[in-house]
Every structure is written in C-alpha cells, then in structure tokens.
Amino acid sequence: MSINGNENTEVTDETPLLSNQSRSKGASFASSVFNLMNAIMGSGILGLAYAMASTGIVSFCILLVLVSSLAGYSIHLLLKLCDQTGINSYEDLGGRALQKPGKVLVAVAILIQNVGAMSSYLFILKSELPATITSFLSPDHSGQTWYQDGRLLLILVTLCVILPLAILPKIGFLGYTSSLAFFFMLYFAIVVVVKKWSIPCPLPQNLTTFLGVSQVSNSSDSDCTPKLFVISSRSAYAIPTMAFSFLCHTAVLPIYCELDRPNKARMQNVANVSISLSFLVYLISALFGYLTFYAHVDSELLLGYDAYMPHDILVMTVRLAILIAVLLTVPLIHFPARKAVILLLRGNRPFSWLIHIATTVVILGTVLMLAILVPDIRNVFGVVGSTTSSCLLFVFPGIFYLKISPHPLRSFDSIGAMALVVFGLIMGVSSFSIIIFTWIQSS
C-alpha cells in the first residue's frame, strides 16, 4: 500500500485524496451515498423495535442519536488518517498503527463481524422461509410438512443457492442486484407504518398456530401504553444492536477512493447524509414496530406479523423482498470474510482453488451451524454488536488516530478519539457481561 509523502504534511478538509495523480472520473456524490447506505442498512433493522421495547422510546432515541453521531465521528477520524497516510484499507491502518498485530486484530474483527452478519441473515432465512411458504398456502392447510422446517430449508438454500454464488472467484454482478436491498428496507419501513393501524391493541386473545407451535397472545389495556424509559436485563441488547446496525466502516475507505473529486469534506458529507437517512429509516421502523406490538414485540420484527396476519398481501410481499435481499447479500458479505481468512493464513501467496473452496466451505459451514443453533437473533446482535462491532465502530478508530496522528493529545480530535475508545470499551464490556450473565441465569 502506497504512502503519500511525509505523514506530517498539513492536511485540510479540502485536500484531495489522490492529488498529483492522474485519475479517471469516479463515482458521483449520490452514487457514493447510495453505496454507503447499502453497507449500513442490513438485518439490524429487524431488531431495533425490540431494542426500543427494551429501553423505552425516549431512551432509545437518545441512544440511537448517540451511536449514529459517534459512528459519523469515527468515520471522520478514519478519513483524516486516510489523508495523512495515503492508506485506504482498514486492515492496513491497523498495521500502520500497531504493526502486524494490529493488522491481524482488524482482520480477525472483520471476520467475526462478517460471520455474525451472515449468521443473522441465515437466521432470518430460517425463521422467514417457512412462514413465506405457509403464507402462500390456503388458510385451511394444516399439519407439519418438510417445507415448514426452517432448519432443513436453510440447509437446502445454503447448499443450492448461497454456496454456488459464494464459491465464484468473482461475483461483481451481485453488486448491482444488491442495490435493491435498500429499497427493500425502505419498503419494509413503509409496511411497518401502514400495518400499525391494522393490528388492534390490546392484541386479540386468539390461539394461533405458527410453524406448528400454538401461541396464545395475552394482552391487556395497560400493554397499549408506550413506555418512555425502561431498564431491564434486555436493555443490554440495545446499544450492541445499534452498533451492529450502523457499522459500515470497512466500506468507507474503498468508497472514498472511488469518489469523484475525493476530499475529506466531500466524503464526510457522503457519510453524514448516509447515516442520517439510515437513522430516519431505522427510527421509523423501530417506532411503529414498537407501537404495533408494544411489550410483545418479537426480537425479529417480522415474526410478530406472522401470528396475526399470515396471509396479508403486504406482509407476504415485504417478507419475500427481505428474503431476496438476504439471498443476494450473504455471498457478498462472505467475500471479505474469506479474504481475511486467506490473508491471515497465506499472506500474499498466489491464488489456489483448493484453499479458495476449502475456506468457503468452512466459513459457510460455521455460519450455518451458528444460524441453526442460535435460538434468538437478539443473541447475534448482542454478542457481535458488543464485541467486534464496538471495536470496529468505536475502539479501533480512536486507537489508530492516537497512534498515527501527529496532532498533540490535547487537540480536539485526540480528546475525541480517547472518549471514543473509553465509550466503546465501557459499552462493549458492560453489555457483553450482562448478556452472558443473562444466559447463565436463564440456563
């Protein structure tokens, strides 16, 4: 990776990333915003309504503003480091700050983060595929059949669809189709708003059979009062879920390099617009999802609609849209995970089909086992969000800035970097500890 000039060279917000170099026209501002939003928006949107139910509306809004603002600030630090060093990858920034251990640490964090993200997507497939198939059957259909077994369907889809796509050495064509994912998420938010007035509160006390399991909804008038502040053991999942939902930092520097007329101020505006629009979609879907089910909201929001309107056209179409987005996104998330593993094991050795295929199978097998064994998607959001997401979002950008930047420790950004590291460590350790303690208690 090239390093441009002296690292102590004065860099301003208007300094172009690739000054004094010939460069073809890059991506437009709008295209870069769209690409970064695709990196931000993901499965986390399905767990934010549960996070709001666990913290209360006011607490949730405060935390969401805090996490999104810190995400924007940590991107600001990464962009400054990129301009100061000429480095345009997260792993290489880790290597510059902490030598080889730093590069390995970042690569491991990215691997775990992507495995967690893929697990959350496969969990969605496991829970939503049977519901999708059942919704297209007649209401009189009863009995348990093979296509209502989410684990079996997940194995079949992984072997027949995801594995063939992930094993390809190049998968650029999926980059275009994955752009549909944002529109699917926007459509999901719209459906959540519309369906707020389709499900009454208190929830009807009817016996429903969902995926072969009888469920009774017990709800009273008191459950229809929104809670502004909530403190419970479930609250420990809130910030990790938000951190999981806003993590896009591994994509920021590549998008910066592809930006037309790249400079820090322009890319920071791209990040601010992307985070603000994602914040709006997240907040709307979480708020109206919570105001639909209140304390009975499921950790995977779509499951709540399955129990009360399994054959509703809008719910069926949004579920199908989410499933398509998941199927197209998993192979893309797999690519950087496999790259991290191969770099850790083989360095820069020549391409080997044997290593390529073996690594693909091992990673997908691990992700598949996690998705099958994990009973609740909130566990994925909680554990991954409190560990690797908090490191990549808060801790690493702060530490790298303090190690690389020539600015004094009393400068504004150095103090901000220290605050970012402290917040990330406190949030990650406390949330992870409470989650583990909750698991021990429940077992």
Q: For the chain, how many structural domains are there in total?
A: 1
170 burial (CB, 10 Å; 0-12 / 13-18 / 19+) is exposed
Between CA 362 and CA 345 the distance in angstroms is: 14
In whole angstroms, what separates CA 250 from the centre of its chain?
A: 12
Q: Is residue 1 part of a domain?
A: no
The verdict on residue 24 lying in a domain is no
Per-residue pLDDT, 124: 84
Residue 8 belongs to a domain:
no
Is 57 within the bounds of a domain? yes
15 located within any domain? no
Does the residue 408 lie in any domain?
Answer: yes
What separation in angstroms does the CA of 47 have from each of 287, 302, 356?
Answer: 12, 10, 33
pLDDT for the residue numbered 193: 92
pLDDT value for 85: 87
Q: Does any domain span residue 420?
A: yes
pLDDT tens digits along 304-334? 887 777 778 888 888 888 888 888 788 878 8
Q: Tokens 């189709």 belong to which residue?
A: 177
Beta bridge partners of 259: 27
Which ranges of the chain have pLDDT less than 50?
A: 1-15, 18-23, 206-217
CATH number at residue 294: 1.20.1740.10
Residue 299 φ then ψ, to 5°: -65, -20
Instruction: Decide if 7 is inside a domain.
Output: no
Residue 16: φ, ψ to 5°: -70, 145
pLDDT of residue 214: 39
Tens-place pLDDT, residues 138-188: 655 555 677 778 888 899 999 998 898 888 876 655 655 556 777 888 888
pLDDT at residue 139, as a whole number: 58
* Positive or negative: CA dihedral 19, 23, 29, 35: negative
Domain that holds residue 185: 29-437
